[in-house]
Amino acid sequence: MDWQLILVLMLGGLAVLLLLGLPVAFAFLAVTLVGSWLVLGGERGLIQFTRNASTSVSNFQLAPIPLFILMGEILFQTGVAHRAIDAVDRVVTRIPGRLSVVTVFGGTIFAALSGSTIANTAMLGSTLLPGMLKKGYAPTLAMGPIMASGAIAMLIPPSALAVLVGSLAGISISGLLMAGVVPALLLSILFVVWIVVRATMNPEMAPPDDTLGLTLRERWTPFLLYVAPLSLIFVVVIGSLLAGLASPTESAALGSVAAIVLGACYKAISVEKLVKALGETVKLSVMILFIIVTSQTFAQVLSFSGATSGVIKIIQAYDLTPIQIMLAMIALLLLLGCFVDQVSMLMVTVPIFVPLAKAAGIDPLILGVIYLLTMEIGLLTPPFGLLLFVMKGVAPPEIGMGTIYRAILPFVTIKLVVLAGIVWIPALATWLPHMIR
């Protein structure tokens, strides 16, 4: 059977199953089983699938995924993150668009602790949006920063998706976790600059709102009590990686222990909250690991059929430069991000993009950061950006999807600028990982 036909059957069958509403994990399982039977030799193909599944989920490199998720769930369930947002609110003063700036600062802090874009956006939306709208903020300037900074959790460690990308694409997980730090901080800085400029040019969009009547001690005491200790978790996770004292799995475990200890110090943790955090961790982890079960065989089917090498030969025939190849990859990922979820983007493209990147001499870390940032943008692009619907769920009923689309547009533009910067200046992503080698 020709590789072109196999490629069409695999990708076309996957698209049909997803359009029919089948969950992503089961859609990939069905397509991979059929491909294994057709390409890898009937019953022998199914046996190979079973072996691959066992090998995939027993990979110790995947252990950071549930541990990072657990760390964020503990902070979310105990309410420690909400206290930190309130503390940041007291500290940020005398700046145009103050509450929107607070949103970016708070969102970046929680992103560095949770690794969950959905939890980050939902928490920021439910905590800050009602107050911003009540104080007269334009809905676009209130919602845009919430969604934009909520999505940063995809890029900044501890990101479970970074672990997944590293595992599927064969990229150093510790290196990829480090590679996302500088781009994430750059995004936050540019968000704040945009908010300040926008609020200065149009003051009616963000009425003056200072925390009047608070002494210096009243402003900074909550910050020292609730934000400074949280930064210790980030130091434990990232510091142990930077110093070479711990592997990604060990640093994730240290982060989870630190979150439990911190919750206990605040007397915010209980058996019920811990059980709920563990339950949510299991749900998310099983979904991700179930997809990983099919990943290796899915890639093997495309490779054995000749689809991977066939696509690479076609692209190489055009004699494209590495930059042109990267731009083509980005264009396809951005297009996919408008219509499919992030894991589907990975599963469909990794078997082709990774060999293509190796052939073109593209730095694996750059490819990994491109994946993370394009997936982050995909969370925010119409018509099916997941965080757009999360925002719709926490916003007042009178706010329509059109307003939400307008709110996120300038922030998606900023993310595209940073993505272009990474392509043009790769050191933005590779500098920090190279520091720990």
Using an 8 Å Cβ cutoff, are 238 and 121 in contact? no
The angle formed by the CA atoms of residues 411, 416 and 233, to the nearest 5 degrees, is 70
pLDDT in tens, 405-421: 999 999 999 999 999 99
* pTM score: 0.84
Measured between alpha carbons, how far is 291 from 222 in angstroms, rounded to an integer? Answer: 42
Widest pairwise Cα distance in the chain:
76
The angle formed by the CA atoms of residues 197, 202 and 203, to the nearest 5 degrees, is 100
Measured between alpha carbons, how far is 21 from 286 in angstroms, rounded to an integer? Answer: 19
Show the beta-strand stretches assigned E in 238-293: none
Going by C-alpha positions, the residue among 55, 54, 16, 9 that lies closest to residue 32 is: 9
Using an 8 Å Cβ cutoff, are 249 and 275 in contact? no
Q: How far apart are the first and last CA of the chain?
A: 45
For residue 256, give every residue at least 6 positions away whose Cβ sits within 8 Å of its Cβ, in sequence order, or none: 67, 70, 71, 74
Using an 8 Å Cβ cutoff, are 382 and 405 in contact? yes
Structure confidence at residue 436 (pLDDT): 67
pLDDT in tens, 101-155: 989 988 888 887 776 787 778 778 877 888 889 888 999 999 999 999 988 888 8
Structure confidence at residue 211 (pLDDT): 57
Structure confidence at residue 213 (pLDDT): 65
List the pLDDT tens digit at each of the 437 positions of the chain: 677 888 788 888 877 887 787 777 788 888 888 888 888 888 888 888 888 777 777 777 778 888 888 887 887 788 777 777 778 878 887 788 888 998 998 888 888 777 678 777 877 887 788 888 988 899 999 999 999 998 888 888 778 788 888 888 888 888 898 899 899 999 999 999 999 999 999 988 888 876 556 777 877 888 888 888 877 887 888 788 777 778 888 888 888 888 888 888 888 888 888 888 888 888 878 877 777 777 777 777 877 778 777 877 887 778 888 899 999 999 988 988 887 777 778 878 888 899 889 988 999 999 999 999 999 998 898 877 878 888 888 888 888 888 999 999 999 999 999 999 999 999 999 988 887 66
Structure confidence at residue 409 (pLDDT): 94
Tell me the angle at which helices 43-57 and 271-305 cross, rounded to the nearest 10 degrees.
140
